[in-house]
Structure 1
Amino acid sequence: MNSLIRRHRPTTAVLAALALTATASACGSGSGGTNTGGGDSGTYTIWDPYPQFAKGSDWAKLLDKCGSDAGVKIKRTAFDTSDLANKSLLAAQQDNSPDVLIVDNPVVSTLAEAGVLTSTDETKLDTSKTDPNLLAAGQSGGKTYGTPIGANTLALYYNKDVLKDAGIDIASVKDWASLTAALDKAEKAGKKGITFSAIGTEEGSFQFLPWFWGAGAELTAVDSAKSEAALTLWSDWLKKGYAPNSVLNNTQTTSWQEFESGQYAFAENGTWQLAGAEKATFEYGVLPIPGQSGGTAAAPTGGEFVTMPVQSDTGRYATSQKLVTCLTSTQNLLATDTTLSYVAPTAEVQDKQVAANAKLGPWVDAVKAAKGRTDDLGTKYPKISEQLWKAVQSALSGAKSPKDALSAAQEAAAK
């Protein structure tokens, strides 16, 4: 077994972190293969979380082309996101990791702390063109582990018809006060205000973070006055009927289905709903989530990192690096991120995306303001996030005040 893996035997914290962070992937998934063996010297293995893309798809063809350009054959295995993290950890324990691993970005720091991944310093992978805020999701302990293949994040979709009927000028929505005023107008016009996901899982934390960060709160102090302001905002929306009680059980999918009804003025959701938005029976727009006092709130990034796991045979790194460079090249990112409904991680490709589809403009702005969900907390993040979503559930259900719910969350997270 590789000595690096032996020195960093995964702890209970690492296993728990993988279990929790793997539950809120922002993009779709399905069932995939489970073959996990390595290849011979002329075959390189790639694991990805895209089982929806079968053999013969554009994605599979790109993998094969990158392999051909590097002079090797590709053995690709696709897993459901929730399975991939655990499979990767098990493979590392058995010294049987894939050469290239494409994994949900919150899992990167956890795998890195477990000694599963190489750093870009070791592999000489060039990440100089990548937006720093997106690259940060794959950083831990001052080192970078891989590079993002693309990113998605959250913003506010709005129904132009509802806003028109309610006399709401979207240009007036610049902060929390003006957004709440717009929700009030929608309600008084006989429509509904806003829908989102506050479910008691990582998905609920993911949706709450833009408001949490938009108030200036920090995950290291979830009981701060700023945190309380964000949770009070959501809680007041429910009390006033601006948001439905169903948000307590809504996933991002069921929340979107509510918005598709055409009755809501706003919905918090992500880039992965763009295809559905285009099929809606009403005209829609997209607004970056505003901060409490204005500006664009930092939303958490979704999307995957292309990483290189530790290998006993370090001579394989040179070819693996070529594969990663090919997959994340300017030439290939545009097509790949269009397929995945992602915003590219580099300004050059982002500009090309907006030139091809002007509707991506607000999403590029949102991604530029976004930051990594784990916020450099590594394996501490899942425990804090769990307490955060529990606090949200407690406050929105009326079981506790926002202040008391967050105080209990901070106490539990500190244990």
Structure 2
Amino acid sequence: MNSAAIPSRRRFTALFGAVALVLAAAGCGGGTGSASAGGKVTSITALDYYTDATEHAQWGERLSACGEAAGVTVEHRSVPGASLVPQVLRQASSRTLPDLLMLDNPDLQQIAQTGALTPLDRYGVDSGGYAEGILSAGTYQGKVYGLAPTVSTIALFYNKDMLAKAGVAVPKTWDQLKTAAAELTRPGRYGMAVDANATFEGTWQFLPFLWSNGGDETRLDTPQAAQALQLWVDLVKSGSMSKSVLNWTQADVHDQFVAGKAAMMVNGPWRISELDKAEHLHWGVAPLPVRVSGQKLVTPLGGEVWTVPQNSSEARQRKAAQVLACLNDPDNMLALAEQYHTVPSRSAVASRYAREVPSMAAFVESMERARPRTGRLGVRWPRAATGIYTAVQAALTGEQTPQDALRHAQRTATDS
């Protein structure tokens, strides 16, 4: 999940890197592909942000296999996540986009708005069997432009031994969470840990509490939103949660949990591989608590969608769509989910996966009502996200009450 904002001190470096990458890529002729003398498409290009050497190689193998099934070679390139959207926008203006493009799902709205993407129904790509929230992540103005093979969200991880020793049950409501966190707190250990830092990652972690309580990013100054923020304030004020959450990333939260300095944490399934390596750590995972029994949990949707950009060759676009459809077939969904601890995007495949991999059941359950971050505001989402993490920071530091912090966030989000 690439939802974190780049800290300001890194923006110049990221922009410089993006420019260098665009210049370096210019020789590759993004989106040119190749064809035989008879005009038959023999290769297409694909662009993503999977720069980790192992992950890049794994995706390269999967793209190659799907390309072979479609009768083409896939020329696969990756750029750093912070560089992808700036590069795509430049390539869109110069008509040099790749044939197949991966985007973090919140970025699809911005790119589709430019007219750079093609609707997938044009090529008969099957978009059936997806939960409404998952499908909407790849939809712009009623048209499906992107599909995600797998998705992710966040849940409550807990230390089984610590809960058992304290006689604490896994909390299902906010009151139970506060009680459990207090009883699990000891010298050198906090009961609960979250990422409340001043980035989109901090907003991402707060959203389940906001949304499940009926809060809405289109109107932040509501009692429901204030109740959600008050919960986090109460956890910090009571000493059940460290004040350092104001600066922690999700990786930091994970480290606190593994080190035994936090009994429970909010985090995603991408942490499972490392959790499994921790000796003597017996962990479990459950859906996040809601304020009161009967409320429906709503979590944010993470994951990447694959798209087919507009270019001058209908034949290459059709081949790219075939590769995209292959990536989203049930077998590939299941294989990718098992490889990366993510959730298959088609509901039937996800249900099967939950039965086969119990540690992922909580994430599959949470995905039933997961919502894309751009679902309500579209391209205006980043402004609201900034307002949310700013309000969280102001409330947790005691600078403002939750009500005042959220009122300020609402005014900021609606300023022209």
Q: Given the two structures, how large is their TM-score scaled by the length of structure 1?
A: 0.89
* 1:204 Cα deviation from its structure 2 partner: 0.7
* 1:20 Cα deviation from its structure 2 partner: 8.4
Q: Provide closer, same or farther for how the CA distance between residues 378 and 22 of structure 1 changes in structure 2, counting only shifts above 3 A.
A: farther
* Contact 2:5-2:199 at 8 Å conserved across structures: no
The unaligned stretches of length 5 or more in structure 2 are 8-16, 36-41
- Range with greater deviation from structure 2 (227-236 or 307-316): 307-316
1:292 aligns with 2:291: yes
- Range with greater deviation from structure 2 (277-286 or 384-393): 277-286
Deviations 1:10-48 (A, max 9, x none): xxxxxxxxx987659xxxxxx997635232232200112
* Contact 2:50-2:56 at 8 Å conserved across structures: no
* Contact 1:119-1:143 at 8 Å conserved across structures: yes
**For residues 282-321 of structure 1, what are the structure 2 equivalents within 5 Å?**
282-294=281-293, 295-321=295-321
Distance of 1:55 and 1:199 partners within structure 2: 27
* 1:239 Cα deviation from its structure 2 partner: 0.7
* 1:256 Cα deviation from its structure 2 partner: 1.0
* 1:188 Cα deviation from its structure 2 partner: 6.3
Q: Provide closer, same or farther for how the CA distance between residues 123 and 150 of structure 1 changes in structure 2, counting only shifts above 3 A.
A: same
Match of 1:246 among 241, 244, 247: 244
Distance of 2:292 and 2:136 partners within structure 1: 25
What corresponds to 1:178 in structure 2?
A: 176
Distance of 2:159 and 2:55 partners within structure 1: 38
**For residues 215-234 of structure 1, what are the structure 2 equivalents within 5 Å?**
215-234=213-232
1:278 aligns with 2:276: yes
* Contact 2:394-2:405 at 8 Å conserved across structures: yes
* Contact 1:287-1:362 at 8 Å conserved across structures: yes
Residue 273 of structure 2 aligns with an amino acid whose one-letter code is A
* 1:55 Cα deviation from its structure 2 partner: 9.1
* Contact 2:226-2:403 at 8 Å conserved across structures: yes
Residue 185 of structure 1 aligns with an amino acid whose one-letter code is E
Q: Given the two structures, how large is their TM-score scaled by the length of structure 2?
A: 0.88
* Contact 1:53-1:60 at 8 Å conserved across structures: no
Distance of 1:292 and 1:355 partners within structure 2: 28
- Range with greater deviation from structure 2 (178-187 or 402-411): 178-187
What corresponds to 2:263 in structure 1?
A: 265
What corresponds to 1:141 in structure 2?
A: 141
**For residues 112-151 of structure 1, what are the structure 2 equivalents within 5 Å?**
112-151=112-151
* Contact 1:256-1:267 at 8 Å conserved across structures: yes
* Contact 1:162-1:191 at 8 Å conserved across structures: no
* Contact 2:149-2:332 at 8 Å conserved across structures: no
**For residues 392-403 of structure 1, what are the structure 2 equivalents within 5 Å?**
392-403=392-403
1:214 aligns with 2:206: no
* Contact 2:105-2:304 at 8 Å conserved across structures: yes
What corresponds to 1:159 in structure 2?
A: 159
* 1:113 Cα deviation from its structure 2 partner: 1.2
Distance of 1:382 and 1:56 partners within structure 2: 28
Match of 1:40 among 30, 34, 45: 34
Deviations 1:235-268 (A, max 9, x none): 1111111110110000111111111111322100
Residue 194 of structure 2 aligns with an amino acid whose one-letter code is F
Distance of 2:254 and 2:188 partners within structure 1: 20
What corresponds to 1:98 in structure 2?
A: 98
Residue 201 of structure 2 aligns with an amino acid whose one-letter code is E
- Match of 2:266, SS state, is strand
Deviations 1:104-152 (A, max 9, x none): 1110111111222112233332111222221111222222211112111
* Contact 2:150-2:343 at 8 Å conserved across structures: yes
When the two chains are superposed, the root-mean-square deviation of aligned CA atoms in Å is 2.3
- Range with greater deviation from structure 2 (217-226 or 77-86): 77-86
What corresponds to 2:201 in structure 1?
A: 203
Distance of 1:283 and 1:126 partners within structure 2: 41
- Range with greater deviation from structure 2 (334-343 or 283-292): 334-343
Distance of 1:174 and 1:226 partners within structure 2: 18
- Match of 1:369, SS state, is coil
What corresponds to 2:79 in structure 1?
A: 79
* Contact 2:56-2:78 at 8 Å conserved across structures: no
Residue 149 of structure 1 aligns with an amino acid whose one-letter code is P
Q: Provide closer, same or farther for how the CA distance between residues 350 and 53 of structure 1 changes in structure 2, counting only shifts above 3 A.
A: farther
* Contact 1:81-1:103 at 8 Å conserved across structures: no
Distance of 2:399 and 2:298 partners within structure 1: 29
Q: Provide closer, same or farther for how the CA distance between residues 120 and 55 of structure 1 changes in structure 2, counting only shifts above 3 A.
A: closer
Give runs of ≥4 in structure 1 deviating > 6 Å: 19-22
* Contact 2:195-2:205 at 8 Å conserved across structures: yes
